Every structure is written in structure tokens, then in C-alpha cells.
Amino acid sequence: MLTYEKDIKPIKITAREAYKQSVETEEYLNTLRAVYSDIQGNIKDGYTNAHFFYDSMSLVNRVYRELLAQDYNLTLEKEKTCYHLTVDWSDVDLNPNKKYILPMDDVYSLDCYGNSLTGYAYKGTNGSWFMAVIGTNVNGEDIERLGYTVTAKDLEYAPEWVKVLEPVEVEG
């Protein structure tokens, strides 16, 4: 037995939880099919945007992240009883190598001088994903120079903990 195996506890999931997760996944896949179908329809009709309305915050967030990874311009607004997602492709650079930083908003610390630090996710040269904690006064250019940017293509195949982060485009 490997030394770490003794620390691993089996993950139990009830049948009800498994069903709920599979239904949510099925709902998400059906929603994505409908979104892409509507986008194709709008393209054929000569439109450069589409509007979608969702009751579920988790569903709209998953759709938002998927479309963001595909380089669509997105606007998400909370209305009284639903979420309004606007998808626009009128002025989109279709470069899959567009660069992003991935701030981890809930990761804060202080260095030995009392300066604020925040976390950023990035993909290492070996293909693994890591977190770096750097000063909050560092700008996008500095982060890019340090090698902490990722591309839209990287985000397509990123692990789930990375996909939940909100990418911020690096100008330039």
C-alpha cells in the first residue's frame, strides 16, 4: 500500500445525489445544445448576438464559462426573477491564443512587510496547473512577464478548480 492511500477516504454518494447530478449535467448539455443551435440560427438570420434567460444561477454560470472559453463577448445581468445572458460575436478576435490571468479572489495574504498578496492560477511548462501568490500591485503585463497567463485554449482542458475562476483578459 502506498503511504498516502491510508489517508484517502472513499467518496460516498447516495442514489438521489447521483441522480440529481446526472439530471443537472443532462440539463446543462441540453441547454448548451439549445444555445449553440440558437447562435447558428441567429448567424443564418444575419444577427451578431443572441439573448438567453435562465432561472438557475449555477446553470447560467456553467453556460457563461463555456461561451467565454469559446471567445464570445458576454454580458450577464441579474434581473428581477432571472439571469439575462447576452452573447455577442460582432467584434470578436477568434484567436485561441488570447491571453488571460486567473485571479483567485478568495486567496489573500500578507508578505513579511505587510503588503497584500493575492493568488493566481496558471499552467506550468510541464502542463500541470498551479497557484502563485503575488503582490496585488502587480499589473497584467507583469503577470504575463512572470509567465502566469493562460490562453483560451488552455482553459478548454483545464481542471474543474481552474474553470470556476473568472478569467480576465490581458490587453496587448
Query: Which of 35, 54, 88 finishes a domain?
Result: 88
Higher pLDDT, 117 or 76: 76
Cα dist from 47 to 37, 39, 76, 77, 89, whole Å: 13, 9, 19, 21, 9
pTM over 0.75: no
Least confident stretch, 5-9, 14-18, 51-55, 148-152: 5-9
Residue 2 belongs to a domain? no
Query: Which of 67, 88, 109 finishes a domain?
Result: 88
Write down the residue that cell numbers 499552467 correspond to: 123
For residue 172, what pLDDT band results from cuts at 50, 70 and 90? Answer: low
| Span 113-125, pLDDT tens digits | 887 888 888 898 8
Residues 74, 135, single domain; the answer is no
For residue 1, what pLDDT band results from cuts at 50, 70 and 90? Answer: very low
Residue 9 belongs to a domain? no
Residues 63, 103, single domain; the answer is no
Residues 125, 160, single domain; the answer is yes
Residues 80, 103, single domain; the answer is no
pLDDT at 120: 86
| Span 34-59, pLDDT tens digits | 999 999 999 888 888 999 999 988 88
Residues 113, 53, single domain; the answer is no
Total tally of structural domains belonging to the chain: 2
CATH number assigned to the domain comprising residue 33 = 3.30.1370
Mean pLDDT confidence for 59-75? 88
Count Cβ atoms below 10 Å from residue 52 Cβ, excluding itself. Answer: 20
Query: Which of 88, 110, 125 finishes a domain?
Result: 88
Residues 80, 109, single domain; the answer is no
Residues 47, 26, single domain; the answer is yes
**CA-CA distance, 103 to 122, in Å (whole number)?**
9
**CA-CA distance, 134 to 117, in Å (whole number)?**
5
Domain extent for 64 = 15-88
| Span 138-163, pLDDT tens digits | 776 777 778 888 888 888 788 888 88
How much is the CA Rg of the chain, to the nearest whole Å? 19
Residues 104, 165, single domain; the answer is yes
Residue 94 belongs to a domain? no
Residue 28 belongs to a domain? yes
pLDDT at 6: 54
Residues 28, 74, single domain; the answer is yes
